[in-house]
Amino acid sequence: MSADAYATGLTTGLTLILAIGAQNAFVLRQGILGAHVLAVCLACALSDAILIALGVSSFARVAALLPALDPILRILGAGFLIWYGAKSLMRAFRASDALRLAEVGAGSRREALATCLLLTWANPHVYLDTVVLIGSLSTRFPGAESSFGAGAVTASFGFFFALGFGARWLRPIFERPAAWRALEALIGLTMGAIAIKLLASG
């Protein structure tokens, strides 16, 4: 186990997953309602773990067979991070509303899981974040790709369970637009830092 690779994977995974989207909003909503929280968090985290494992194992093998692909992936990954971070920074300056949760009932466990899995597996950004970006970044740690992936998986499990079970305490904070702006700004700056590190490592 490489501590450096694990820490970088943890930071990268946490930064990517922090961006509030439909999946995270759904987990937050279920947590606030106290409805099927364990099942929903577990479904999200396990889905991420599968996709991260696929990305790490696939990109490690492709990079070994096609060395010329590495700089291309590194540049594309850095470009994506810069774009992603810029969007977060723009949202930080423009955001004026707190997260709006759907005004519907909690529903059954089956309905909650179906919605959760749909939001996860039907979202192209999930594949971009886990399979493509995390997979390509893991190639920067030859022989320690699994440590990088383990860090990203840890971030996923930690985030989803903290979000789902801590949602009741977060609600008063994130009803304030300033909280969302601060979160988006932090995401944007961290994305930029990771992009610079990725480009400098070539």
For residue range 76-109, list pLDDT tens digits in order: 777 877 887 888 788 778 755 555 544 445 568 8
Paired tokens of 142: 């030859």
Computed over every residue of the chain, the mean pLDDT equals 80
What's the pTM value of the predicted model, to 2 decimals? 0.70
Position of tokens 């320690």?
144
**Dihedral sign from CA coordinates of 139, 50, 46, 188:** positive
HSE value, Cβ hemisphere, 13 Å, CA-based, for 4: 5
pLDDT in tens, 183-199: 778 778 877 887 787 77
Report how far residue 146's alpha carbon sits from residue 171's, in angstroms, rounded to the nearest whole number. 35
How far lies 161's CA from each of 17, 21, 183, 200, in Å?
A: 12, 16, 18, 34
- 156 closest CA partner among 34, 33, 56: 56
Span 33-47, mean pLDDT?
A: 91
